Structure 1
Amino acid sequence: MKAAILKSLGHPLAIEEIPAPLIGTGEVIVDVVAAPVLPYANEVFSGERRYSVELPIVPGCGAIGRVRASGPDATHLEAGDWVFCDPTVRSRDDALMPDITLQGWSARGEGGLRLQRHYHDGPFAEQIRVPTENAIRIGDIAREEAARWCALTVMLVPYGGLLAASLQAGETLLVSGATGNFGSACVAVALAMGAGCVVAPGRNRQVLDDLRRRFGERVRTVVLTGDEEADRERMRQAAPCPIDCVLDLLPPSAPAKAARAAIMTVRPNGRVVLMGGVGMLGGEDLRLPYPWIMRNDITVRGKWMSAPEAATRMMRLIRAGLLDLGQFDVTTFALERANEAVAHAAEHGGAFKMTVVQP
């Protein structure tokens, strides 16, 4: 089969023929129809992001495709079923503390690397082998819709954080990093879940105006200045009522003070979920004040990706018409043009922009 292969960091992907994956018990072979190219893929492939990955590898993170074959443990999947290939692979031998790898993308710790050596290659190929539980049925779609369904990969990240935060209908949420690829998707997902108001801070006034145009009065935008105290007060003032929850999705390039300004807008007894990359490349630590957390009964937790059932729950939001995949502007590339796709994704990685490779 044809695949795009990352052989060494800082070099273009090689488009080559490689053996098709072989199925084992507990696994599914999927014919890849569409695979998203994340906006920071160039940073991963160059080594700038310092992700744990063993080369060579067929990269990618998530896909939409059709089942080619499933193992004897599959009781519902059938050949031809449309599925979302969830990239979050968990080890099966420790339910309490499973090791995790993002198939074709990165691994968490030594256990994650061991898992990655088996579920190694991602979806920049004509076929992919995934664990049975990671092939999630999405129902019938037209083939031309597959690229737009790749938005699941983007939306599942903030959805995982919102589920971890136990966001309730009618609550006020602040999305730190609202003008980015994941942050803007978070605004859409939170509103679909029934958030009463979403405060959306950012520096890009054009994107903020677009969020208001798309979603109306339930979105309150704030143009940030870089002054931590002043920005914090302006975010609080933008909310119609106390902020119940803050979800941070700022990238590694963002300063800690930007994340801290947003996080400390949350009300007493509020919740904070950290999903971004602040501090991953060095720089100042987040430094949240211990007395503020303790005296205000603030819950602060981290969340990486989403729970196993999240993709099925999100698919239901889409099927119910609460989440509109039509919000995304999709540009597609053939697999042979994977390097062009990576460059395009880096240059067009803003709100509701999506680049997709179609093998």
Structure 2
Amino acid sequence: MRAAVLTAFGSPLTVGELADPVAGGGEVLVGVLAAAVLPYTQEVFSGARNYPLEPPVVPGVGAVGRIAAVGPDATRLRVGDLVWCDATLRSRDDALTPDIALQGWSSRGAGGARLARHLPDGSYAELMRTLTENVYPLPPAADEDPARWAAALTVYAVPYSGLAAGGLAAGETLLVSGATGNFGSSAVAVGLAMGAGLVVAPGRNRKVLARLAERFGPRVRTVPLSGDPETDTATMVEAAEGPVDVVLDLLPPQAPSAAVRAAAMTVREYGRVVLMGGVGMLGGEDLALPYPWLMRNSVTVRGQWMLPRAANAGLIRLVGSGLLDLGGEQVRGFALEEVNEAVAYAAEHSGPFDRTALMPSPR
């Protein structure tokens, strides 16, 4: 098979021939039709994000493809099925606190690193070996534009899992911290698709805020941020015109923790705050939330890294039903040989609903 390989951090990816992977028990082999190229991919490959990825490796997180082979324990998956491959690998020997790795991308702790070494290679290849439980059938509509589905599912999986973890219910008010970013703007769309009555979208980029307001209408209230935490908290509360039920933070690593705090402090009594961004990954102050405020208002604060298995099925249903419309996505596809151009393009096109996809296998 042909694959793109990261030989060392800071070096361009090289495309060449590798031995075809073989699926064993509990595994499937997927012919990759499309894989997302995230806006921050260049930061990962340069080493700037310090991800625990071990070169040489075939990178790539998540994929849409067709099953090429199944292991002996598969009971429903068949060769030729169109599927979504979730990159979130979990160890099978601890039901309560499994080790986790993102195939072809990252890992958590020593156990996650071991898991990543067992299944190191991601989706920037014609074939990918992954776990049986990480493969989800897709509706026929996905076959019409696999690049659109792959790019969208990879991004939307993050806010969907966060909102599911926060228990967002129909009619509730959601505040998305980092709403003008690639993941944050996607969270606005997902929140509305899940039935949020109102979404408060704060940010500094007024052009993006105007775009969100134009696309989604009166159910989205945009808030230009001043940079002063107390002022911004008051402005966001005012925009909500009532209690904020859920706050989802998706701010990037370079954002200050004070911005997270300003958003979190808008949540109502018994409200929920979900942290999924990268704040603190590159250093800086820790998030400091006042103990008396948390305790007296019975506020729930939780972190969420990627998504449980059921969230994949829920997200696919949301897109397949049309509730989460992919029609507004701007998608640019690249051939496998153009992988380095794709990485550069993704970095330059990181705005809302701007997607980049790599297409390793011809249709």
Q: Give 1:303's aligned residue.
A: 304
Partners of 1:312 and 1:48 in 2: how far apart?
A: 33
Q: Whole-Å Cα distance in 2 between the matches of residues 149 and 342 of structure 1? A: 18
CA–CA separation in structure 1 for the residues paired with 2:141 and 2:190: 21
Q: In the alignment, which residue of structure 2 is the partner of 1:280?
A: 281
Alignment check: 8 A CA contact 1:81 1:139 kept: no
Q: Which runs of 5+ in 1 are unaligned?
A: none
- Paired position in structure 2 for 1:132: 132
- Mapped pair 1:116 → 2:109: no
Q: CA deviation at 1:327?
A: 2.1
Partner amino acid, structure 2, of 1:279:
G
Q: What is aligned with 1:332? A: 333
What is the alpha-carbon distance in structure 1 between the residues aligned to residue 312 and residue 143 of structure 2? 20
Unaligned runs of 5+ in 2: none
1:3 alignment partner, SS class: strand
Kindly report structure 1 stretches of 4+ aligned residues shifted beyond 4 Å: none
Question: Deviations along 1:119-161, whole A, 9 cap, x unmatched?
Answer: 1100000010010011110122464410010111100100000
Which whole-Å deviations, capped at 9, do the CAs of 1:197-227 have from their partners, x for residues lacking one?
Answer: 0000001111111111111100000001111
Q: Output aligned runs, 1:336-355, within 5 Å.
A: 336-355=337-356
For 2:316 and 2:328, locate their aligned partners in 1 and report how far apart those are by CA, in whole Å.
15
Q: Residue 83 of structure 2 contacts residue 135 of structure 2 at CA under 8 Å; is this kept in 1?
A: yes
- Residue 82 of structure 1 contacts residue 141 of structure 1 at CA under 8 Å; is this kept in 2? no
More deviation, 217-226/135-144: 135-144
Partner of residue 253, structure 2: 252
Corresponding letter in the other structure for 1:227: D
Over the aligned positions, Cα root-mean-square deviation in angstroms equals: 0.9
SS at match of 1:327: coil
Residue type of the partner of 1:80?
G
- Secondary structure at the counterpart of residue 325 of structure 1: coil
1:26 aligns with 26
SS in 2 for 1:117: helix
Task: Give the Cα–Cα distance (whole angstroms) in 2 for the partners of residues 240 and 195 of structure 1.
Answer: 14
Q: How does 1:1-359 map to 2 (within 5 A)?
A: 1-141=1-141, 143-150=143-150, 151-359=152-360
Structure-1 separation of matches of 2:136 and 2:142: 17
Equivalences, count = 359
Corresponding letter in the other structure for 1:18: L
Any conservation in 1 of the 2:82–2:143 contact (CA below 8 Å)? no
User: What are the Cα deviations for residues 224-283 of structure 1, in whole angstroms up to 9, with x where unaligned?
Assistant: 111111111100000121101100000001011111111111111110000001101101
CA distance in 1, matches of 2:193, 2:143: 25
Tell me whether 349-358 or 315-324 shows the greater mean CA deviation: 315-324
Mapped partners of 1:92, 1:291: distance in 2? 40
Q: Determine if contact 1:119/1:129 at 8 Å carries over to the other structure.
A: yes
| Counterpart residue type for residue 266 of structure 1 | V
| Mapped partners of 1:38, 1:172: distance in 2 | 28
* Separation (CA, whole Å) in 2 of partners of 1:38 and 1:5: 17
Q: Which amino acid in the other structure matches residue 109 of structure 1?
A: G
Q: Percent identity?
A: 63
Post-superposition offset of 1:108: 0.4
